[in-house]
Amino acid sequence: MNLTPYTPQQHVNDLYDIVGFISSGTYGRVYKAVSKRTAPAQAHKHPTTGRPIEAFAIKKFKPDKEGELQYTGISQSAIREMALCTELSHPALIHLVEIILEAKCIFMVFEYAEHDLLQIIHHHSLLNRTPIPASTLRSCLFQLISGLLYLHRNWVIHRDLKPANIMVTSSGAIKIGDLGLARMFYKPLHALFSGDKVVVTIWYRAPELLLGSRHYTPAIDLWAVGCIFAELMSLRPIFKGEEAKQDSKKAVPFQRNQMGKIAEILGLPKKQDWPLLTAMPEYQHLGTVGVYNQAVNRPVGLERWYRTTMGNNNYAASNSPPPSDDALDLLQKLLEYDPLKRLTAEQALEHPYFVGADGNDKVSWNCFEGLETKYPARKVTTEAQEIGTSSLPGTKRAGPSDDIGLYGKPGFKKAREG
């Protein structure tokens, strides 16, 4: 009998050198790493470019329920992200290299991206003090919607699009990341609303979600794209509301403040423009928005907001022409109240903003093409050079908290550009 030779389990610290800590969130922590595999035959290559991947982002999931004494399994978010990232592959999606399960600790290893859209926005608003060039803006949006079209054609809604979740490589490639909230919407086993009562970060949440819709579509992602588009132009969130938190009974409250921020610019939605508006569960609360926010009764209007934004942006100093009026038209069609009238990803890519009058105006897949601006690499905090493996999903953490260095000492934190 021929048996495959036994191969001992390889540990994450045997495969990767940890450069430092990138960020943390509800899911866990993310580290920058480089591979210890030095032989060319062992090098990881990107499936779409064929080029070797030089740096990696390792996402370490924290326990699903800290404080639980017994192992209860893997978090729903981790399962979704692993399942989807394993199956999906597109130039505008972050590439999953491998998954490592070690001592009941899950590590997802992704290609590393040097920037994200939030970092680029902050660079222009705080340091550079000039608008994002129109060509960069157009390329970013085109790549983002291309990746979104791929997701939607494969029956996946992202449900958490925001600048921080959209990575940018040093070669100017946009990469949609963080699929922890993403869901398949073709014949789902459970209604989309039943599993996750709250989806999408509040500033990018579509009006049908704010109004309590139990049934929603990929149109919620296109609303988020419209919000991101506006933020890339103005360098600040267009609808910056405050989120009302869930009460002790986990009831989802009406997000009056956020709805008001939208209505300050777009006005309140009207039944004649959105026929299904009255069917929304929170429709009865819509009338209270103007009571608490008088500005709702005198909306700015999206066109005026756009003209004011373009006027305030110092395009002359940046030696860059402003976006065309096609940008305004696209923005208006993305920020459409009625999800049935909102542009789909496919329709958005066919918009004159991308296609041009002659149909031959190509959009670059390098958003940095022709740019003089050099964006600083993302900050990486140098800590201990190993990832601890004591965090067990569904178990009580053994050992020090994440605030302690990985060797049991206070974390050595020296920020550097990575």
- Cα distances (angstroms) measured from residue 391 to each of 57, 195, 382, 387, 394: 18, 25, 20, 10, 9
| Per-residue confidence (pLDDT) for residue 336, from 0 to 100 | 98
| Per-residue confidence (pLDDT) for residue 47, from 0 to 100 | 67
| Per-residue confidence (pLDDT) for residue 8, from 0 to 100 | 66
Domain coordinates in residue numbering, the chain: 12-114+378-417, 116-355
Q: Checking DSSP bridges between strand 156-157 and strand 174-176, what pairing results, if any?
A: unpaired
Could you tell me which CATH number the domain at 116-355 has?
Answer: 1.10.510.10
Fold designation for 12-114+378-417? Phosphorylase Kinase; domain 1 (3.30.200)
| Per-residue confidence (pLDDT) for residue 372, from 0 to 100 | 82
Q: Is 403 among the catalytic positions? A: no
Q: How many CB atoms lie within 10 A of CB 61?
A: 21
Q: What is the 3-state secondary structure (H, E, C) of 40-87?
A: HHHCCECCCCCCECCCEEEEEECCCCCCCCCCCCCCHHHHHHHHHHHH
| Per-residue confidence (pLDDT) for residue 195, from 0 to 100 | 55
Cα four-point dihedral sign 122, 128, 132, 135: negative
| Per-residue confidence (pLDDT) for residue 403, from 0 to 100 | 35
Residues in Cβ contact with 226 at an 8 Å cutoff, skipping those fewer than 6 apart = 331, 334, 335
Same fold, 12-114+378-417 and 116-355: no
| Per-residue confidence (pLDDT) for residue 391, from 0 to 100 | 44
| Per-residue confidence (pLDDT) for residue 125, from 0 to 100 | 92
Please tell me which residue in 64, 116, 160, 178 is annotated as part of the active site. 160
| Per-residue confidence (pLDDT) for residue 399, from 0 to 100 | 33
The list of the chain residues with pLDDT below 70 reads 1-8, 38-43, 45-50, 63-73, 187-199, 248-250, 316-318, 356-360, 383-386, 388-418
Distance CA 280, CA 274 (A): 11
Distance CA 265, CA 249 (A): 33
